[in-house]
Structure 1
Amino acid sequence: MVLRVIQWATGGVGRAAIEHIVRHPDLELVGCWVHSPEKSGRDAGELAGLDPIGVRATDSTAEILALDADCVLYSPLMPDADEVRAILRSGKNVVTPLGWFWPTEKERAAMEPAALEGGVTLHGTGIDPGGATEQQPLFFSGLSSAITFVRGEEFSDIRTYNAPDVVRYIMGFGADPEKAKAGPMQGLLARGFEQSVRMCLDTLGFADAEIRSNHEVAVATAPIDSPAGVIEPGTVAAQRFAWEAFVGETKVVRVAVNWLMGEENLEPAWTFGPGGERFEIEVKGDPDCSAVIHGWHPASVSAGLLRNPGIVVTAAHCVNSIPTVCAAPPGLLTFVDMPVVTGRAHPDLAG
């Protein structure tokens, strides 16, 4: 049975998700919500850079809620729990990269009644968080025993992220260092990455642990060109955010992102190191394991501005989860409750 899917928002993840949905043999795009009136009425395929597919985008929430569909892939810039509850109550499953990866009891209590009322499921997934920061470390931990430490860490050139307003005004690049540290980004990221840490702690069975966060910045020593405008000397040009869990003084989990505006003209002189842009997975146990993932970063800044593989990966993980989520019992569904999620063969090679 082909599942009917609505794409909610057409930012980077939303556009990539439309591509994936159109190619998936078990999914059909039947609706598309957009934020701006300028996009309303346009063909969803055209918004994603594809040929027209006969699905008209709308900025009407009521229209989307009334639509007959199995699942909504919910990916606006920021999550709105009230919106998600309304979607769930309308009888539509929700897959999102914006949270609920490992909900607290409070978060579960806030969302589960709506899912049960609608007879549907809410699932948070993605890549960072939602994949490299908990799913992959937990997967590789299954090949070891007596685990003492797991880590998922991102190293990315933020110049390839084509969202200038987000980079400058939310992420704080180009700002005074103290202003950036006092800005909203640490709190926004913590909503997801602390869930990554807790998923690892709870699933691996570590004793009561303390989660500590850290935020470091490097400033530009010369003007740096970026899609968010010129990063002036003395302003933020690189950031590291980390969340680490300790049992006593033993570090047992690390989740971190390293975001640089290139490797030149930084103070401190941070670099990606010989591995370049990458995701790293590490497990300490019997035996140890480490993995480096390439391919989720573009070959150049200009290529990333056209189509960033990290965004495409995030969308793919969401889209490929939809059939499992739609088949699950109503409620909240986490990665550890699911079978293996895979992609599907290219349409030209499918049997």
Structure 2
Amino acid sequence: MVLRVVQWATGSVGRAAIGAIVAHPELELVGCWVHSADKHGCDAGELAGLDPLGVRATSSVEEILALEADAVVYAPLVPSSREVAALLRSGKNVITPVGWYYPTDKETTKVEQACLDGGVSLHGTGIDPGGVTEVFPLLLSSMSSAVTFVRAEEFSDIRTYGAPDVVRSIMFFGSTPEQARTGPMLDLLSRGFTQSVRMVVDTLGIGGDVDIRPRHELAVATAPIDSPIGVIEPGQVAAQKFFWEAFVGDRLVVQIGVSWLMGEEHLEPAWTLGEEGERFEIEVRGNPDTFVTIRGWQPESVEAGLASNPGIVATAAHCVNAVPYVCAADPGVVTSVELPMVAGRAHPDLLGA
């Protein structure tokens, strides 16, 4: 049975998700919601840079709610519990990269009953958070006993992230250090990454009084730096690091971090991405230890990243590949530790007759 899927929003993740839905043999794109009135009526395939698909985008929420569909890949810039609850009550499973990875009871208040009312499920997934930061470390932990420490870390050149308004106005690159320190980014990121830390802590069974502490560091430009958001002048923020660390007493047990740099020149402190360049790293300390470096989810150049960022595509693919599993789950908020192993599907050329 083919599952009918709606794509909600057509930013970078949404456009990649449309391509992944089209390539998935168990899914069919039947609807597309867009924020911009300029996109209303456009073909969803053309919005995603594909051939026309015969699915017209709409800016009408009511039209999407009335549509017969099994699932929605919900990928706006900022999530709305109200929107998600409405989609769930309309009988559509929701898979999203913008929240609900491992929510507390308080964080599910507005959506849990909506799941039950609609007889469907809500699932948060993605890459960082949603994959590298909790799902993959936990998978690797199955190869060790007596785990004592887990680390998951991203090292990226933020110039390849094709969302200049987000980079400047939300991430506060190009701002003063004080503006970046008091801006919303740490709080916004903490909503997701804290859930990643708690998933690892709870699933491993780490007990005692666990204290999760956020940490934010930044570097400024020492000379003008050309970037997709314009020139970053000396003294303006040109690199940032965020960490979420779980302690039991004085003992560090889980560490999740991201390092985002506008290149590796003219920074104070003189940060670099290290000899290995852009990558994701996962470390599990136990018997035995495990250390994994993931490549391929960052582009080979700034220009390539602005054209198609592999990390964005991976985020969308993880959401889309989860659709059949979420649709088969019992109603409610379902996390990655409650689903079977989510797998991709073969290229259409390899599927046979």
Q: TM-score, normalised by structure 2?
A: 0.99
Deviations 1:38-81 (A, max 9, x none): 00100000000000000000000000000000000000000000
SS in 2 for 1:323: helix
- Contact 2:8/2:72, CA 8 A, preserved across alignment: yes
In the alignment, the residues of structure 2 paired with residue 108 and residue 38 of structure 1 have an alpha-carbon distance, to the nearest angstrom, of: 34
CA distance in structure 2 between the aligned counterparts of 1:167 and 1:80, rounded to whole angstroms: 21
Q: Structure 2 stretches of 5 or more lacking a match?
A: none
Equivalent residue number for residue 85 of structure 2 = 85
- Cα distance in 2 for partners of 1:204, 1:340 equals 17
Query: Following the alignment from structure 1 to structure 2, what is the Cα–Cα distance between the partners of residues 81 and 153?
Result: 29
Work out the CA distance in 2 between the residues paired with 1:200 and 1:116: 27
Find the aligned partners of 1:322 and 1:20 in 2 and give their Cα distance: 11
Q: Following superposition of structure 1 onto structure 2, how do residues 128-143 of structure 1 map, counting pairs within 5 Å?
A: 128-143=128-143
SS of 1:55 mapped into structure 2: coil
Distance in 1 between residues matched to 2:133 and 2:314, nearest whole Å: 14
- Aligned twin of 1:115: 115
- The 1-side partners of 2:230 and 2:323 are apart by 37
Structure 1 portions without partners, runs of 5+? none
Aligned residue in 2 for 1:260? 261
TM-superposed CA distance for 1:193, in Å, is 0.1
Alignment-mate amino acid for residue 46 of structure 1: E
The residue that corresponds to 2:200 in the other structure is: 200
Distance across 2 between alignment mates of 1:320 and 1:291: 23
- After TM superposition, give the deviation of residue 106 of structure 1 in Å: 0.6
Distance apart, 1:161 and its partner CA: 0.4
Shift of 1:108: 2.3
> What is the alpha-carbon distance in structure 2 between the residues aligned to residue 253 and residue 37 of structure 1?
44
- Give me the whole-angstrom Cα distance separating, in 1, the residues matched to 2:203 and 2:110: 22
The residue number in structure 2 matching 1:50 is 50
Taking the aligned partners of 1:310 and 1:183, their CA distance within structure 2 comes to 25
Aligned partner letter, 1:115: C
Comparing 85-94 with 105-114, greater Cα deviation is found at 105-114
Counterparts in 2 of 1:307-346, with a 5 A limit? 307-346=308-347
Runs (4 or more) in structure 1 with deviation over 4 Å come to none
CA distance in 1, matches of 2:116, 2:230: 46
Give the corresponding residue for 1:161: 161
2:273 partner letter: F
Q: Tell me which residue corresponds to 1:245.
A: 246
Q: Distance in 2 between matches of 1:177 and 1:107?
A: 31
Shift of the alpha carbon at 1:228?
1.0
3-state SS of 1:348 partner: helix
Instruction: Give the whole-Å Cα distance in 1 for the aligned partners of 2:95 and 2:231.
Output: 36
Q: What residue is the counterpart of 1:39 in the other structure?
A: 39
Which residue of 2 is the match for residue 178 of structure 1? 178
- The alpha carbon displacement at 1:308 in A equals 0.1
Whether contact under 8 Å (2:82, 2:110) holds in the other structure is no
Distance 1:36 1:292 in 2: 39
RMSD: 0.6
Moved more, 23-32 or 223-232: 223-232
Q: How does 1:278-297 map to 2 (within 5 A)?
A: 278-297=279-298
What letter is aligned with 1:259? W
What is the TM-score with the length of structure 1 in the denominator? 0.99
